[in-house]
Chain A
């Protein structure tokens, strides 16, 4: 155990969690998937009325533990104690019966059904009646989470969908609510609203198990933290007395390599110029881009911040050439109008692109890494294809170079893309483009769902690339990341882009306001 072991006396002062009897206790839980042990002798105790953080990197075993508590997985060994009684939780239905509710990270909602129908499905023997609709409206009002019970999920925003999940939980009168990364999809303001609701629930005696890797948030909200690393519990800590740095260290085990950033003072010529880019979305639920202007010089990184679904995908597609611009001069790379060029012609001009979804978009799951190299680099004039034939030897050399440069961990020399873990594959798809030394790089969500170590490697590589002479646009929802690497920041909201401002003059609060839709006013004023 680490130095940060919980001191119960101190805890009693801070929150309702005292000595008493734990609400739920997991003792010596072991869970194996084949040869892989996801939970190795894990124990955790949660007090009534306590907001308890579960921290850990991706793959540390948090999700497995939570699934065991919620009955969707059965442990190989160990026991669960609910209010002092040993219990077996064989299914989520049994968990709900005991009083355990869960708000999922990837929402478990049914898009084609209404709010009422979605909630009825989670309640025992409950039909979607008008009485239920009335109850939903009342409870959601009460907790400051207003909802229209008759709305279909398809039509709701991400924040509203989360409200549906929370209200669904609340209607089961739970004594424990498990929340899996609840703020990853919210604006800072929406997150604050959520914290108010959670604190109120805790004050009413409901325990909350809060899974997150946003440490700042955990420090503000939680009474206690359990930290997992490599399938084991490595520490219990009091998040209010720890710093973000010490918590991160407990999570990762070693000091995280700090990303080093010298302000890009020496800026080169303008390499990317987006002028008056407007693009009508072709999809029913897509976002139309409206009059976007941005200029990026060699040597700098400009980040595009924003909540998911505000036009990031459309912007990336327009920049990469997956969607062509209506006029060629809307997009200028290195002085050349490329708005109506195909993706490969843009690559030939020295640009490179890393899409958000690594598996399925950035890489073909069933193809080997070398074959995936060929896919983005066959037409870049490096000689990977010659006279219509592919030189896989050369592609293999690229794989080796990327592997060494980015410390991609793989079992065999040239594995299929899908066999790599998320973080390693992400390092590979970013590395594949960075290793080319492009003059222009457009990258979306470079460290989405990647652990802190891999994230640091990727971020550092982007900074180094920029300083060596590249113009980079990073489209990201992660504010920590943005502040870590960006020289200037613009915010995208409902398809409009705010003017890019110097990162030093911006605060998360200001960006939050822009995210919530201030872009129009801001744009008009500027």
Chain B
């Protein structure tokens, strides 16, 4: 029972973790991309379509990342090059993604997909209790953990990460020092798009190998909330993703067990938690200053 619960929590948390890690990097560079849901759903439909066309879930996963990246490029051009409002453009991107994915995916509805196979290491995977949890996951689950470490090292140990944080903290100063704010932000947005696409592809290729319209079902929004919940630090994304994942799973279990607890209340919890965290961190301005990108959501136009 516990093993089954943990296994479902992992599958619920992984897409959140992937998408939120991407968005964290985007927001650290000072860009607020509210289009996570749209990029995820594009990743989901592209992942599913390529998987059943080629028969390879691996190609599907790659296609998912590529689709997310391409969708994010649209956002980047509109907000970075054409300097449109980021909030409005992000919302538009979500609606665009939901609509276009529905159109592309129409012929795939109801078709059986091919599942990305979980790891099977003889000896280890068969261990009681921990075997399947630790050694029986698919590659994307392991990738999500690797990415936590990679993003942490990138942000806080590499020069490129330092530049990215500097751009998010004060874009005018970064420009004055000779860094290309726009280029850094393009790269960040594209990374965020690819990660959201991966998260989407996880849903349609590894989680439930089929396509239904709007299959992301609000996970993009939870990922966005998660970034704030984690106060822009990668390690806390991990805790937040598993917490939010567990809450989502509880919804189904509570219903199955016949607990008279309204499931709407549980689906509301991630957002309530985010509001609580926001209130808590805004009380401590000094702590907020260190992690919250000061230029978040502000457009940058160099004076040239």
Chain A interface (Cβ < 8 Å from any Cβ of B): 71-74, 91-94, 96, 104, 107-113, 117, 120-122, 125-128, 152, 154, 283-285
Number of B residues whose C-beta is below 8 Å from A?
A: 25
17 additional A-B pairs beyond A108-B176, A112-B165, A113-B169, beta carbons within 8 Å, are A72-B176, A92-B176, A92-B178, A93-B177, A94-B178, A110-B170, A112-B169, A112-B294, A113-B166, A120-B162, A121-B163, A121-B166, A126-B159, A154-B290, A284-B284, A284-B286, A285-B285
Q: Which residues of the other chain, A, contact B88 by a CB distance below 8 angstroms?
A: none
3 shortest interchain CB distances as A-B pairs? A92-B178, A284-B285, A108-B173
Q: Is B255 an interface residue (CB 8 A)?
A: no
Interface residue from A91, A94, A127 paired with B159 (Cβ < 8 Å): A127
Query: Within 8 Å CB of B178, what residues of A?
Result: 71-72, 91-94, 96
B 176-208 to A, binary, CB cutoff 8 A, 1 in contact else 0: 111100000000000000000000000000000
- B289 in complex: contacting residue of A92, A120, A122, A154, CB < 8 Å: A154
17 contacts between A and B (CB under 8 A): A72-B176, A73-B304, A74-B304, A91-B178, A93-B177, A108-B170, A108-B176, A110-B174, A111-B289, A112-B169, A112-B291, A113-B166, A121-B179, A122-B177, A126-B159, A152-B290, A284-B285
A283 proximity list for chain B (CB < 8 A): 285
B158 contacts chain A at the CB level, 8 A cutoff: yes
Given known contacts A71-B178, A92-B177, A110-B166, A125 and B159 CB-to-CB distance under 8 angstroms: yes
Which residues, 119 to 166 on B, are CB-close (under 8 Å) to A?
158-159, 162-163, 165-166
Chain A residue with minimal CB distance to B302? A72
Minimum C-beta distance from B291 to chain A (A)? 7
Contact B158–A154 (Cβ < 8 Å): no
Is B214 on the interface with A (CB-CB < 8 A)? no
Task: Give the CA-CA distance A125 to B163 in the complex, in Å.
Answer: 11
Task: Collect the chain B residues with CB atoms within 8 Å of residue A108's CB.
Answer: 170, 172-173, 176-177
List of A residues within 8 angstroms of B169 by Cβ = 110-113
Q: How far is the CA of A122 from the CA of B175 in the complex (A)?
A: 11
Query: How far is the CB of B164 from the nearest CB of chain A, in Å?
Result: 11
B296 CB to closest chain A CB (Å) equals 12
| Chain A residues whose CB sits within 8 angstroms of the CB of B304 once the complex forms | 73-74
Which of A91, A92, A121, A127 is packed against the most chain B CB atoms within 10 Å?
Answer: A121
A126: chain B residues within 8 A (beta carbon): 159
A110 to B167, CA, bound (A): 9
Complex-state Cα separation, A112 to B295, whole angstroms: 11
What is the bound-complex CA distance between A75 and B159, given in angstroms? 31
Q: In the complex, which residue of chain A has the Cβ closest to the Cβ of B287?
A: A284
Contacts of A94 in B (CB 8 A): 178
Which B residues are in CB contact (< 8 Å) with A152? 290
Residue of A nearest to B288 (CB): A284
**CB nearest to B304 among chain A residues:** A73
A152 to B294, CA, bound (A): 15
Chain B positions within 8 Å of A71 at CB level:
178
Candidates B165, B177, B284; contact of A113 at CB < 8 Å? B165
- Whether A120 contacts B159 in the complex (CB less than 8 A), given A93-B178, A284-B285, A284-B286, comes out as yes
Q: Given the complex, which residues of B lie within 8 Å of A125, measured CB to CB?
A: 159
Q: Are A111 and B286 in contact (CB under 8 A)?
A: no
Which B residues lie within 8 Å of A74 (CB)?
Answer: 304
CA distance A109 to B162 in the complex (A): 13
A2 to B290: give the CA distance in the assembly, Å: 52
A121 near B176 with CB under 8 A, answer no
Query: In the complex the two chains form, is B162's CB within 8 Å of A112's CB?
Result: no
Flag if A154 contacts B286 (CB, 8 Å): yes
Expressed in whole angstroms, the Cα–Cα distance for A91 and B177 within the complex equals 9
Give the residue name and chain of the A residue nearest to B167 (CB): A110
Are A127 and B177 closer than 8 Å at their CB atoms?
no
- Candidate in A72, A120, A283 with the most chain B CB atoms within 10 angstroms: A72
Query: Closest A-chain residue to B290, C-beta based?
Result: A112
User: Cα distance A112–B174 when bound, in Å?
Assistant: 13
Kindly state the separation between the CA atoms of A72 and B176 in the bound complex, as whole angstroms. 7
What distance in Å separates the Cβ of A62 from its nearest Cβ neighbour in chain B?
A: 15
Contact indicator per residue, chain B 270-287, by CB within 8 Å of chain A (1) or not (0): 000000000000001110
Q: Are B158 and A111 in touch, CB under 8 angstroms?
A: no
Minimal Cβ-Cβ distance residue in B for A91:
B178
Contact status of A110 and B173, CB under 8 A, knowing A125-B159, A126-B159, A127-B158: yes
Nearest residue, chain A, Cβ from B175? A72
| Contact present for A117 and B162 (CB under 8 Å) | yes
Question: B227-264: which have CB < 8 Å to A?
Answer: none
Judge whether B173 and A109 touch: CB under 8 Å. Answer: yes
- A78–B165 Cα gap in the complex (Å)? 37
Chain B residues contacting A127 (CB-CB under 8 Å) are: 158-159, 162
Give the residue among B163, B166, B294 with the most A Cβ atoms within 10 A: B166
